[in-house]
Structure 1
Amino acid sequence: NLNRYRDVSPYDHSRIVLTKGRCDYINANLVKVVKADRQYILTQGPLQQTTGHFWLMVWEQKSLAIIMLNRIIEKNQEKCHQYWPIGRINGGEDSLILTDVGLQIDYISEVEASYYTTRTLELKDLDSGESRNILQFHYTTWPDFGVPQSPTAFLRFLSAVRRSGTLEEGGPPIVHCSAGIGRSGTFCLVDSCLVLMKKYGNNSVKVKELLMEMRQYRMGLIQTPDQLRFSYLAIIEGITRDWDSVNDNDLIDEVNQNSSRVSSDSEDEPPPLPPPRGESLGTRSPGGEAPPLPPDRPLPREPPTSARSPSPEVEKYFCMFCFQFETNNRHETAVFTITRLMVTILAKGGEKSEIVPYPKYNKSTKHKCVRERMRIEANKKTAEMLAEMKRKQESAEKWRRVKRSLLQPLSLGLGAVFIGGCAIAIYFYTNR
């Protein structure tokens, strides 16, 4: 079996077709966003038996970057095969030779950040001797079916990928998570929207329409309401804040502060917190010795926009979002309701408008949502009881009409004729 999940299959019209080897199939699609001049190859996390196919796709498509948005093991389950050599420095091997496709992958180096790792790998064709360097950007704190801890951390990761130039140079970048639709779709949607807004203006992009367009190339992009909601938050922050100027050292505190605002309704355990600043500097200093810490740590830079308490209207829509999410299957409708309100509030105030935050889903808000849900469930049960009573009354009325029709003289006469005819027919049949 070449598919990781039975319910996630690639469309034929956009599927990547391998040209070398006996098998031309791989669960991967080319997703095009023409207006943004972007192309992505979205694929599943490689299986052990498809590792060769994965690297053959990287070679044939001339891709220079692999964007990995999952961990190898998540909640004691393998979400992706270890498809690259980890290097002797990490207790592994420096090379991985794939004889089935005639390729060799060599470990060159890696640079760790608090929430992602950048690796440099060399991909070599054993037949021609040609080789090229591949950059792997591995986001390590994005839970399955969830979202990153904050839009700022994600935007910093996206900025690092963009600065490498691999999204524009060479072939399409390879983007994968476990299934290649949820986290991968979120990354591509945010990147494309920010490119379009920078190119054509903030009001030129309809996020829902762009997502539907991208789904024409690969099924099920963005799997959960939280992922779609996070996409809106990242887009809003990306266009209203110069996040490229955020200090990496200050980012750790900001991520922890924002983690309570952005929930991740995920079955996976929460991602680990980054190490303390002093410890990380001591272990990751290129010279082997930790540089001295400054006597006073600078305060985080104030954001350019101010936050104010959510209005009753926002609270109302947030409660609507909560109970629609918990009671209905129309997840996207609930998400688009609240996020459309956010964007409307932002657009009405112009450039100096304040960003109204999402209300925190605390105990007070939870009680409101519970009461609202109980009221809706009670109304629903009452409506169902009334409908059932009406159905029984209609059924009883139909049966009474049938009984009255059977007792009418004409009905009795027709019944007698029918019975007599049957008796005569049986008599003649038996006396032949």
Structure 2
Amino acid sequence: MTSQETLDQGISNVETEYLEINSKGAWPILYQHIRNECSNFTYTCNESKKPQNKNLNRYRDVLPYDHSRIVLRRGPCDYINANLIRVDRAHRQYILTQGPLENTAGHFWLMVWEQNSKAVLMLNKIIEKNHVKCYQYWPLGDSTINTMMFPDVGINVTYISKTESSDYTTRILKLTDLETKESREILHFHYTTWPDFGVPQSPTAFLRFLTDVRQSGALDQNVGPPVVHCSAGIGRSGTFCLVDTCLVLIEENGLNSVNVREILIEMRRHRMGLIQTPDQLRFSYAAIIEGAKQLPSNNVNINNEVVTNHYDVVSNISNPSNEEEDEPPPLPPPRGESLTRSMMADLTSNPITRNDELSRPPDKPLPREPSVSTEISSSPQIIANSTVITNNLHEQNSDGVVVPNDNTSDGENSSKTISPPSSPDTKNEVRHRNKEKKERLAAQVREMKRRQKESEEWQKLKRSLFKPLTIGIGAAIVGGGIIAICGYLYMRG
């Protein structure tokens, strides 16, 4: 069997999986299954919690793991909210980081310089839905601002040129090390039509963007890893890296070598929370399918001619142009307190209003991804004792890492003794608080039952999605993966 024949059969395999999940509307269930697996991670984020580093984090619950964080070698501190993502079998490395804050922009450029990165990939706008999502960390090149100086780290950034495309802008910037007087040109790829918590309208423009990034040499092994960021450095950034990595593996080994879910979990071991929504996971699959159809050249090769949008075909959806391209996908409920708090934690925590970056406190949480109606848990971590619910997830993110929890409301998860009230107002307040506790308890009991039911539904769906289909001899499934023996491919469903 030729490599191209293997590729063609493999594409059918991935499309079969995609269509199976799509037909059952099971993307939220698959996504939550991935989150539940990652909740067992025990990686620490101790450096991010140090008092001197807290105000260097854009969101208090998106923190870099200690074992993979980027360490700055000079400047006022060695900390930056960034992780090195390594996928050795794909010969890929990426630095994923948050959108720079005003007080971390110098650290950002110092990291680019020290890591010998050839390019910065920016996947968000400065302002989205009237909220500042990133500091303007590069010079715009207008008549007044051609150079930005960052004396705290000894780096200058100078605007050279830019090229406009329909979905992204490519800039050339020059970095100068003020200590050594050495200069270096950096590419700045700025994708401008990817909405926060959303996906591009189709894979076509996204794959063209990926093509330009690849052809620039920014992903080559002979240069430092590209610096990839959105606002938090996990959603859109994770989607980009997952698609690129999977396409590399498909090109080198055939699509039968790729298990998208396992690759995402592997990447999440380097930075928490990569890919924020079921729709981003769904788009990743569609982009991988469409990108694989453009192989077997060394790059995802999409020319300027019209290409059939496979995403619309396999999704059986239409994508009318949005009047406001920053509009997030219509997934209920609206984004609220935190990205990584579980639904049980949401029941016991106070909502925090989203503010513009200019007025936010340093430990502002990341706006929570749209909740999914099919969130499940195979083992609810809830222990009821009298009228108190101990929710261990309240102080952990979805990857099992403890995060700062400075805003715990009175009367929640507390063993403190309440003194007898001394006034009618205090009595009323205590009665009101007790009533709220009872209502929360009742809601949590209902939530436990719902989760148990959805866990059972997930088990049924999993058996349906990944059941064996015998094709010839010597085919088997191991842990949901696909093994082909004697030239036979094993298909899910």
- TM-score with structure 1 setting the length: 0.61
Report the structure number with the largest CA radius of gyration.
1
Amino acid at match of 1:248: N
For 1:300-315, what aligned pairs fall within 5 Å after superposition?
Answer: none
Is 1:155 aligned to 2:207, yes or no? yes
CA distance in 2, matches of 1:61, 1:172: 7
For residue 284 of structure 2, what is the aligned residue in structure 1? Answer: 231
Q: CA distance change for structure 1 residues 262 and 100 in 2, over 3 Å: closer, same or farther? A: farther
Is 1:131 aligned to 2:180, yes or no? no
Tell me, yes or no, if the aligned pair for 1:149 and 1:255 is still in contact at 8 Å. no
Q: Residue 328 of structure 1 is aligned with which of 364, 375, 384?
A: 375
Gaps of 5+ in 1: 273-323, 348-432
| 1:248 positional shift | 2.8
Is 1:142 aligned to 2:165, yes or no? no
Amino acid at match of 2:124: N
Q: Which moved more, 1:197-206 or 1:67-76?
A: 197-206
How many residues in Structure 1 have an aligned counterpart in Structure 2? 295
Tell me, yes or no, if the aligned pair for 1:95 and 1:105 is still in contact at 8 Å. yes
CA distance in 2, matches of 1:11, 1:261: 38
Q: Residue 174 of structure 1 is aligned with which of 227, 237, 243?
A: 227
Amino acid at match of 1:270: E
Is 1:194 aligned to 2:234, yes or no? no
For 1:58-83, what per-residue CA distance to the aligned partner results, in whole angstroms no more than 9, with x for missing partners?
01111111010000000000100000
For residue 174 of structure 2, what is the aligned residue in structure 1? Answer: 122
For residue 107 of structure 1, what is the aligned residue in structure 2? Answer: 159
Is 1:261 aligned to 2:317, yes or no? yes
For 1:36-75, what aligned pairs fall within 5 Å after superposition?
Answer: 36-75=90-129
More helix by share: 1
Amino acid at match of 2:182: E
CA distance in 2, matches of 1:329, 1:156: 36
| 1:187 positional shift | 0.5
| 1:166 positional shift | 1.1
CA distance in 1, matches of 2:281, 2:318: 12
Q: Residue 248 of structure 1 is aligned with which of 291, 300, 304?
A: 304
Tell me, yes or no, if the aligned pair for 1:63 and 1:170 is still in contact at 8 Å. yes
For residue 311 of structure 1, what is the aligned residue in structure 2? Answer: none
For 1:314-393, what aligned pairs fall within 5 Å after superposition?
Answer: 325-329=372-376
| 1:127 positional shift | 1.3
For residue 96 of structure 1, what is the aligned residue in structure 2? Answer: 148
For residue 286 of structure 1, what is the aligned residue in structure 2? Answer: none
CA distance in 2, matches of 1:11, 1:328: 25
CA distance in 1, matches of 2:257, 2:188: 32
Q: CA RMSD in A?
A: 3.8
- TM-score with structure 2 setting the length: 0.54
Tell me, yes or no, if the aligned pair for 1:10 and 1:29 is still in contact at 8 Å. yes
Q: CA distance change for structure 1 residues 144 and 155 in 2, over 3 Å: closer, same or farther? A: same
Amino acid at match of 1:13: H
CA distance in 2, matches of 1:76, 1:269: 12
| 1:86 positional shift | 0.5
Q: CA distance change for structure 1 residues 338 and 133 in 2, over 3 Å: closer, same or farther? A: farther
Amino acid at match of 2:66: D
Q: CA distance change for structure 1 residues 201 and 250 in 2, over 3 Å: closer, same or farther? A: closer
| 1:270 positional shift | 2.5
| 1:170 positional shift | 1.3
For 1:24-58, what per-residue CA distance to the aligned partner results, in whole angstroms no more than 9, with x for missing partners?
11000001001001000000000000000000000
Q: CA distance change for structure 1 residues 244 and 339 in 2, over 3 Å: closer, same or farther? A: farther
| 1:247 positional shift | 4.2
For residue 28 of structure 1, what is the aligned residue in structure 2? Answer: 82
Tell me, yes or no, if the aligned pair for 2:169 and 2:191 is still in contact at 8 Å. yes
Q: Which has the higher contact order (CA 8 A, sep 6+)?
A: 2
Gaps of 5+ in 2: 1-54, 328-370, 378-453, 470-481, 483-493
Tell me, yes or no, if the aligned pair for 1:143 and 1:270 is still in contact at 8 Å. yes
Q: CA distance change for structure 1 residues 42 and 117 in 2, over 3 Å: closer, same or farther? A: same
Is 1:218 aligned to 2:271, yes or no? yes
Amino acid at match of 2:134: C
| 1:151 positional shift | 1.0
Percent of matched pairs sharing the same residue:
60
Tell me, yes or no, if the aligned pair for 1:105 and 1:122 is still in contact at 8 Å. yes
Q: CA distance change for structure 1 residues 198 and 327 in 2, over 3 Å: closer, same or farther? A: closer
| 1:120 positional shift | 0.4
CA distance in 1, matches of 2:236, 2:312: 22
| 1:199 positional shift | 0.8
CA distance in 2, matches of 1:197, 1:154: 18
Tell me, yes or no, if the aligned pair for 1:196 and 1:204 is still in contact at 8 Å. yes
